[in-house]
Structure 1
């Protein structure tokens, strides 16, 4: 996943992901299970039972089509709105960084491309009332759960750390030495017993010498972890407040547009 978002330009997207043949099959489907199976076949999401990301994407596509059915959209409108949702989701997944403002801006640009007749740049596929319904639906479903989508599709990063301290002697690895064959029939030899005793004494000496250092490292790590935890919790609270403020702003925009329409 790239850390930099691509620059996307809104274009007319009718028949982009669902063509006429797809829409004919979808219109014949009667049950929710059949519709999910059809969508899984269209977009290669057959592993949704074992892959959580595929399951999330399948649910997004399924409820998008359910909304189109509830609003009694035509084939062209259904295909277009499905592609708008799909394009918005792909924009969200382009970067693990927060890009909700960019996604919402791109979503509105796509929607406006299909709400005014200005060929070849836009077409009047949706009327004003449908635009408001679509905006309200996407805000209340996708953008309200924007952070959950971002979390589900952001790869987990694991950091492995190895520490080395100046002044600490690192025991050299014992070299394999050739030893003459011994007769074990009469029990362990005296040389072997002496070697085991020396090894045990060496281990005890090393443990006694490094015990204070280990305790110091443990205390320092606990302090660092506590500071890091408090910093992360503060960032999470700050991000949550910013997200709530942005979401409130997005919810107010359709209301303002509808109020202007009534004044006209």
Structure 2
């Protein structure tokens, strides 16, 4: 698995007539009436070689798109373009494990615009206004509403591994090198000011043990304080992230269902 995580980017919309599904492929697909035969044909056309459940989910997406095209009597070139649009939106979604719903929304609207307005070579009028309206609803109900499920299945999970390193503290809990040097300077100054005072071995051992115990206790307290502060900051960041996700989800739902949002506002 690649350790590099891609940042969400907005793909460039373009005309997708006969891009993934050729005219001959559409003739083969039209001959298939049963679901297993249709899955086999689509698996061969798109060269799907994925493990389960990814393979089954992707085939189900393409099969439902073909059935939708048949239900609305779309032509071969329209069905081919619609399959490529669905495939392109799906690839844009699973390109990154991060949330890129806004990019996908803009992208699929631009794709439909490229196939509904005559402006060669940038766009063609492949779909009528009524067909575009039906396709918009179909893509929203069958893919964008399940956007997170597709991302969960087809993208790797991202986990935060946090570790703390105490660079100024040794493994035995002793003082830092800077503190040790300051202590040496203090001892030298004390010897110079009291040259005639002779310390016994007992009086020398007592302050050393006290300093060692005090240093060990201060190191333990420092670690506890840092860990508590990190936990508090992680809880704060997690709460802010959840609030941002809820706001983005509400905003996206409002953009996808403007009529429903307006009715709630009026009420």
TM > 0.5 between the two?
yes
Classify the secondary structure of the residue corresponding to 1:156: coil
Aligned residue among 222, 233, 239 for 2:245 = 239
Q: Which residue of 2 aligns with 1:2?
A: 6
Please give the alpha-carbon distance, in whole angstroms, between the structure 2 residues aligned to 1:23 and 1:254: 37
Task: Pick the structure with greater CA Rg.
Answer: 2
SS of residue matched to 2:33: coil
- Render the CA deviation track for 1:99-128: whole Å, top value 9, x for unaligned: 222222121111112112223322221111
- Asked if 1:13 is matched to 2:16, the reply is yes
Q: Which runs of 4+ in 1 moved over 4 A?
A: 162-165, 213-227, 253-256
Give TM-score scaled by structure 2 length: 0.66
Matching of residues 25-104 of structure 1 within 5 Å: 25-49=28-52, 52-104=53-105
Q: If the length of structure 1 is used for normalisation, what is the TM-score?
A: 0.67
1:30 Cα deviation from its structure 2 partner: 1.3
The CA distance in 2 between the partners of 1:238 and 1:131, in whole Å, is 32
Q: Which residue of the partner structure matches residue 174 of structure 1? A: none
**CA positional deviation for 1:217:** 6.6
Counterparts in 2 of 1:243 and 1:4: CA distance versus 1, 3 Å = closer
Which SS does the other structure have where 2:257 is aligned? helix
Aligned-partner Cα distance in 2 for 1:218–1:40 = 57
Q: State the Cα RMSD in Å.
A: 3.4
Within-5 A mapping of 1:150-161: 150-158=151-159, 159=161, 161=163
The Cα of 1:61 is off from its aligned counterpart by 1.7
- Give unmatched runs, 5+ long, in structure 2: 174-215, 263-267
CA distance in 2, matches of 1:227, 1:253: 40
Count how many residue pairs are aligned between Structure 1 and Structure 2. Answer: 215
Distance 1:254 1:75 in 2: 34
Aligned to 1:251: 257
Whole-Å separation in 1 of the counterparts to 2:133 and 2:56? 28
Report the Cα distance in structure 1 between the residues aligned to 2:51 and 2:41, rounded to whole angstroms.
13
